[in-house]
Structure 1
Amino acid sequence: MEVIEWIQNWYHNNCDGDWEHMYGMKIYNVDNPGWAVEIELIDTKFEDKVFEKVQYDNGDEDWLLCFVKDGIFQGNGDSRKLKKILDIFRDWVEE
């Protein structure tokens, strides 16, 4: 399954009549240029799951940082890392 379809399903499966009114996810571009992804985990079964930070910096066109802080998965990367960020989230959820 492609990661976009997978993330849609993950979102749908967490919508329970309450969660989606308080929490959710954001995918947006940043100006360095790159991507930022925020996925709120509060009131999901992943809220307390340990996430090992993923980070590398090989210059302006090859960098990535993913971590969980305060119940939010946060992924940031260069302009070609959106799929990689979502794949990291999916791999963590499915492990």
Structure 2
Amino acid sequence: MSDSEHVFDWLQGWYATQCDGGWEHERGVKIDTLDNPGWTVCIDLDGTGLEDRECPRQQVSRSEDDWVCAWTAERSFHAACGPGNLTEALSLFRTWATANAH
């Protein structure tokens, strides 16, 4: 992974690597909006090399609109964040997913 690679480009590559003819039919990446406002991210890890790894809850709250929270639960990576923090939330996933990668 290159730190200069944009996180969306990295996520596209990660997703493509998981697609095996089956995984993408049952699982995937979901990005949605919140009404407070903000974003939610759910990345299904079942069937990936990350399915048994835990990401303890991380939470950063700078202001009402500048915040991010990330964690794993039920073999999924979850993030929620403020309206301008989607890149930061996905970067938390990339950092976690690539930590200790071989």
Equivalent residue of 2:71, what SS? strand
Cα offset for 1:29?
A: 1.2
Q: Which runs of structure 2 are paired with 1:19-38 in the superposition (5 Å)?
A: 19-38=23-42
> The residue matched to 2:16 in structure 1 has which SS?
helix
Matched, 1:74 2:78: yes
Matching residue of 2:63? 59
> Does the alignment pair 1:46 with 2:56?
no
1:89 aligns with 2:93: yes
Separation in structure 2 between the aligned mates of residue 87 and residue 41 of structure 1, nearest angstrom:
16
Percent identity between the two aligned chains: 36
C-alpha displacement at 1:92, in angstroms?
Answer: 0.5
Structure 2 length-normalised TM: 0.88
Query: What is the aligned-residue RMSD (CA, Å)?
Result: 0.9
Q: Given the alignment of the two structures, is residue 9 of structure 1 paired with residue 1 of structure 2, yes or no?
A: no
Q: CA deviation at 1:48?
A: 0.4
The SS at the match of 1:55 is strand
Give the letter for the 2:66 counterpart: D
What is the deviation of 1:57? 2.5
